[in-house]
Structure 1
Amino acid sequence: MNSALKLLALLACLGLATFYIYQIHGAPPVGIDDANIFFTYSHNLAAGKGIVYANNPEPVEGFTSLAWMLICALLFAAGFSETAVLIVSVLLLVGTHAYITGLIGRIASANGRSSLPYQLAYVFFIILSAPYMTWMTITLMDTCLWGLVVAIIAGSILSPPERASQWLLPSMVIVAAPVVRPESMLVVPFALSLLWRYGVRISDDTCLRATRSLFVAFLAIMAVLTGFRLWYFGYPLPNTYYAKVSPSLIYNISTGFDYLVEFLGSGILVGIGTIVLIVLVILNALRRLQQPALAASSTSLNYQHYALFCLLLFVLPVLTGGDHFAMSRFLQPVFPLLCLALVIFFIEIRPSQKPFVAFLYRHGAVVLILLALLDCVLFAWGNGASLSSWRWESPIDNEFRIAEKGIALGIRLNSLFAELPVKPGVAVIPAGGIARSYSGPIIDLLGLNDLRFSHYQGKREGMRGHASFEKEPFFSICPDILIGVPPGADKGTWFTNDTLKGLLLEPAFAAQYRYGSLARVDFSDLQLTSFFSLSFLAAVADYPQLKFTETMRFDGTSYVKLAH
């Protein structure tokens, strides 16, 4: 099969898998709530308002990928919708796996094996991984872009370019990496050090010159990017770092280790792929002790470097404390690299007189495909991480609904307060969807888009990745409205209070806020039930079209319903 047909087949497979994932999640039109944080910045930039969140005036970098925000801004400026973002995501995904399947083809050919069966097995791994396919496509997040960057850097380590012309693609990716994700500040120097080590070991002057030049270029890009951040935002790192990462390294490692364990237990392929990486490192170390000449071979060295690079990608989320989303978003870009390691392991099997090894040599690709099916159908049946279990519900289905409800809430607030000369400040926990539609100021209580919380000197311990809320800045701001519900008998009602570290049960909060329904008397269906500050209720009392009805009150220990 020629390259063009393979590319079309890959596009068809990934497109169909994306369509299936899209339908399972109810055809979400706008991605998850965090994607809409990207989109509010992108829309504002496209409209000439600068890099600002919602209708708030201050510049803030409440997103993790400047490159993804700029790509979305270009799409929106050209008049395209979120559908175009999905198409770009799928195209980036196709590019990622076209690159990796090409790499598999070269490795298979070098080992005298037919490439197509192993390429098919690899594609099976990818399209049958529901967590990977979801995070790379319909969430509309930057994960797909970072996945492409990671794949090309990893491929360059596994099979270093031999000629100067072959350095073009990895050079472009390495130079662009700092704008794609902040993790590149560690990923790129580590990758370049591995390539430098390779060049020294085999005396490759082309590799040494390229790594030197790329390191200088990387430092220059980082200097420019940091200078821009200091000039425009006032801080050297994205605001997401200050909002999400605790100053306690021990706390970060503790929560990050749990995050890593969740990923390692999410499927057979993840577990076996990780074992293969560890085995590669150990075997290379043993060979170096026993057979120095063999250990110094370029292939052995490349496999060791590839394994070390993948293990670094495991370590990074541990150092930053992981993420609150289900299905290991930060670690999904590593999944194809684990699959690639597993495929290479089978390609490297040599003919043997032992029946089992001989069977694997002849039918390795079939075994890999069956392993992918087994992983999808059996192992993950009970943990919500496979297509087979998603006949009931996806683990992140609610993230799409949060975005849609947030957009609807913003529209409702605009209608509810249409006559007010100044829209009230609304404090929220999910901050993406509402930012797309509400025309008033928004207070992001988790600090991603609000410097008052992200740079407050708190511990940032609590809800994983969303623990920057503190009560002191909240009371200093005193928002007009707090979107949430009082804690009650239902466990789900405790989300607001727990996320806000017990705020709703504070006597000081109960003294300043009332919970109830604010409705328009001329439109009975147009109302908002939430927490309202007494000062705001006093201000809207002058508007006869608005009527507030208190429905619950804090009695010192809990919220009780009021009789009307």
Structure 2
Amino acid sequence: MTTTVAEGRPTFRRRVRAGEAPAPGPGYASRLLPFLSVLAGTAAIGWHATRYGNWIIDDAGITFAYARSVAEGLGPVVQLGAVPVEGFSNPSWMLLLAAGRLLGLFDHGTLFGVPDYVLFPKGLALLCCAGILVLCYRAAAMVTRRPWLATLAIGAALASIPSFVIWCFSGLSNSLFALTVTGLAVLLFRAVLHHRLLFGRIAVGAGLLAALAALTRPEGLIYAGVYPLAALIGLRRYTIGPVLGRAALSTVAFLLPVGTYFCWRYLEFGRLVANPAVAKEQDMPVVEDLTRPGALVGYAGALAVLAVAVAIGMVLARRVWWRPALLALLVPLGLALLAFAVLRADWMAQFRFATPVWVLSALVGTLAVAEVLRGVGRHARVLGATGLAAVLLPSAVSFEAAASEFRDSPNISMCFVADRMGRGFNAYADMLELKQGSLLLPDLGGSAMTSRLHLVDMAGLVSARIADYMASGDRQGKRDYIFDEVKPTFIHSHAPWSAANGIPSDPRMERDYYQIFEYSYPGPPNGDWVRKDVVPDRQTLERLRRYANTTLTEVDRRSFAREWPRRECGDTLHPGQTQVNQH
């Protein structure tokens, strides 16, 4: 029997000949089925994404605005004339969007009749999903006889999970993040099966993929531990010296790009973390945080999770030949769950921080179930597959309900903010014949894409000074800064921000500002305000109020309609627009 030099174990090719792993069948069908399985899975994911129409989450608009500034040579600023602040936490995704703008594919107009600010990020997401399925096929081809069928099952599983589809196609970086983490997991999975885990190129590749994950999402830093942990798990087969050496090599490959970026961040912004991390007051994790993944169990369905867990346990207990590779695959899954647990709870629906968990769970679960079914007779296999379908049915029903609920009432869209806060306040400024002015508000995405006013971020994401006040809990200091130093021309505030920061209730608001528009929410005042010293007369103030109570009231009212949040908001988004899109 042929053996590897490093480990004295049968090579993977010999295992294929011995029947322990499947050899790909010859012929046209065997070459076509992999392509069709990836295509079908990608199409299913894309079809699910169409349920949410042109919806883009407003936070994505912040990254869009930074991509525009970078592409225009303005540097890392949210708009022309702004102070450099790292208001984005996904530099790799932002650079992809900036590249798209330079190529004329993003932030220019329409592509195939669809605004490119919708089509380009969603198209990138679809390509990332196709890449995920290609990687899953490469993993399944190592350990299953019909990898195309496993790939199809993984694609169907991902297409059925609203959390995965919604956030991959939200305009945020989730799809790229999931692709990167999947690439890291599959790299180690295949390396273990080929007995190449301690090869230098594997260690370097793992470190670089972990670095890309860290530069795509802040919690991606945790994946620097994937390769060292996977190598340590294999200590029964390796000696400690090579393991530590390769772990150090992988860490160096990770630190070079990430460390370089962190040094640039500190020199450019004076911070070691992105500004949103400061504003969101991310605390050190506590023991209670480890219970958060329980919410994912409830979302996916306890029976389905139990079935997958039992299948994984059976494979580990049987000590099948690819058990070491399964253990390596469980490392990134475990770290993905840990990252979800320690991140501060997010206000957005549908678990947007869980995207890698869904992909890795689908991959691990499918491979484990396939192995369990392969090891039983035909009759037992039919019964097992039937039982699995019955177990998954409640999850499918729950997913459909979650998808329908989000479709009818998605989180705040970039287009709503572009119309209500960007174009609406531009119209206010035009009525006042202001050459320049400023606007304090909590919603920055669509505003940054359309406003001609200097934006002041009430939420602190793109304002370092306000982020520091929020991190320290200094509400009074924040209000003093707003009223005594910034003195914004316009203020917009709504729940829950009005109660959280107390700005509308501050006595200086009534002293210095006229209220243009008021929401009928209970609690503190909510609405739009303008500084008194820029209003020339009573007639102009009444004109502002008439516009607010007609055009902007209609935008607010229709934002709760079923179709309105899923619309697009014009062929282009650019500063100075005043025409609210009514379609």
TM beyond 0.5: yes
The 3 A distance-change label for structure 1 pair 128 and 542 is same
Task: Select which of 163, 168, 171 maps to 1:140.
Answer: 171
Paired residues of 1:242 and 1:454 also in contact (CA < 8 A)? yes
Paired residues of 2:440 and 2:490 also in contact (CA < 8 A)? yes
The 3 A distance-change label for structure 1 pair 398 and 196 is closer
Which residue number corresponds to residue 456 of structure 1?
Answer: 469
Which residue number corresponds to residue 423 of structure 1?
Answer: 436
Residues 434-473 of structure 1: pairs in structure 2 closer than 5 A: 434-456=447-469, 458=471, 470-473=478-481
Q: Distance in 1 between matches of 2:98 and 2:255?
A: 26
Q: Distance in 1 between matches of 2:84 and 2:388?
A: 49
Q: Distance in 2 between matches of 1:6 and 1:40?
A: 39
Aligned to 2:469, the other structure's residue is in SS state coil
Q: Distance in 1 between matches of 2:86 and 2:538?
A: 37
CA deviation digits over 1:372-394, x for unaligned, max 9? 554222x446xx424xxx1x652
Paired residues of 2:48 and 2:165 also in contact (CA < 8 A)? no
Residues 147-158 of structure 1: pairs in structure 2 closer than 5 A: 147-158=178-189
Equivalences, count: 492
Query: Is 1:27 matched with 2:54?
Result: yes
Shift of 1:328: 0.3
Letter in 2 for 1:514: Y
Q: Distance in 1 between matches of 2:445 and 2:538?
A: 30
Q: Distance in 2 between matches of 1:385 and 1:300?
A: 35
Instruction: Give unmatched runs, 5+ long, in structure 1.
Output: 288-293, 462-466, 486-493, 519-528, 552-564
Which residue number corresponds to residue 498 of structure 2?
Answer: 497
Q: Distance in 2 between matches of 1:307 and 1:153?
A: 12
Which residue number corresponds to residue 515 of structure 2?
Answer: 515
Letter in 1 for 2:93: W
Shift of 1:332: 1.9
Q: Distance in 2 between matches of 1:207 and 1:4?
A: 40
Shift of 1:276: 4.4
Letter in 2 for 1:300: R
Q: Distance in 2 between matches of 1:145 and 1:469?
A: 39
Shift of 1:262: 2.9
Which shows bigger deviation, 339-348 or 438-447? 339-348
Letter in 2 for 1:437: T
Shift of 1:223: 1.9
Q: What TM-score, normalized to structure 2?
A: 0.74
Shift of 1:159: 3.6
Which residue number corresponds to residue 196 of structure 1?
Answer: 231
Task: Select which of 95, 103, 111 maps to 2:131.
Answer: 95
Letter in 1 for 2:493: G
Task: Select which of 396, 402, 409 maps to 1:376.
Answer: 396
CA deviation digits over 1:405-447, x for unaligned, max 9? 4245312333432364542211111210111000111111111
Which residue number corresponds to residue 267 of structure 1?
Answer: 300
The 3 A distance-change label for structure 1 pair 65 and 503 is same
Paired residues of 1:484 and 1:530 also in contact (CA < 8 A)? yes
CA deviation digits over 1:159-196, x for unaligned, max 9? 435345973864542343332222232221x2021232
Aligned to 2:498, the other structure's residue is in SS state helix
The 3 A distance-change label for structure 1 pair 91 and 365 is farther
The 3 A distance-change label for structure 1 pair 425 and 192 is same
Paired residues of 2:207 and 2:252 also in contact (CA < 8 A)? no
Query: Is 1:124 matched with 2:119?
Result: no
Paired residues of 2:210 and 2:221 also in contact (CA < 8 A)? no
Paired residues of 1:273 and 1:342 also in contact (CA < 8 A)? no
CA deviation digits over 1:298-343, x for unaligned, max 9? 7434433433432221122322312111000001221021122221
Q: Distance in 1 between matches of 2:128 and 2:366?
A: 22
Q: Distance in 2 between matches of 1:368 and 1:228?
A: 51
Which residue number corresponds to residue 216 of structure 2?
Answer: 180
Aligned to 2:528, the other structure's residue is in SS state strand
Residues 475-486 of structure 1: pairs in structure 2 closer than 5 A: 475-476=483-484, 477-484=486-493
Task: Select which of 479, 482, 487 maps to 1:474.
Answer: 482
Aligned to 1:482, the other structure's residue is in SS state strand
Aligned to 1:135, the other structure's residue is in SS state helix
The 3 A distance-change label for structure 1 pair 174 and 26 is closer
Paired residues of 2:312 and 2:368 also in contact (CA < 8 A)? no
Letter in 1 for 2:52: H
Q: Distance in 2 between matches of 1:457 and 1:404?
A: 26
Q: Distance in 1 between matches of 2:503 and 2:470?
A: 18
Task: Select which of 341, 364, 377 maps to 1:318.
Answer: 341
Which residue number corresponds to residue 41 of structure 1?
Answer: 66
Shift of 1:395: 6.7
Paired residues of 1:36 and 1:403 also in contact (CA < 8 A)? no
Q: Distance in 2 between matches of 1:375 and 1:19?
A: 19
Letter in 1 for 2:147: S
Q: Distance in 2 between matches of 1:219 and 1:46?
A: 27
Letter in 2 for 1:158: F
Letter in 2 for 1:260: P
Task: Select which of 80, 101, 121 maps to 1:76.
Answer: 101
Which shows bigger deviation, 89-98 or 147-156? 147-156
Q: CA RMSD in A?
A: 3.7
Shift of 1:541: 1.5
Residues 207-356 of structure 1: pairs in structure 2 closer than 5 A: 210-247=246-283, 249-250=285-286, 260-268=293-301, 272-273=304-305, 276=308, 299-349=322-372
Aligned to 1:397, the other structure's residue is in SS state coil
Letter in 2 for 1:15: A
Shift of 1:132: 1.1
CA deviation digits over 1:458-478, x for unaligned, max 9? 4569xxxxx999545434434
Which residue number corresponds to residue 570 of structure 2?
Answer: none
Which residue number corresponds to residue 539 of structure 1?
Answer: 534
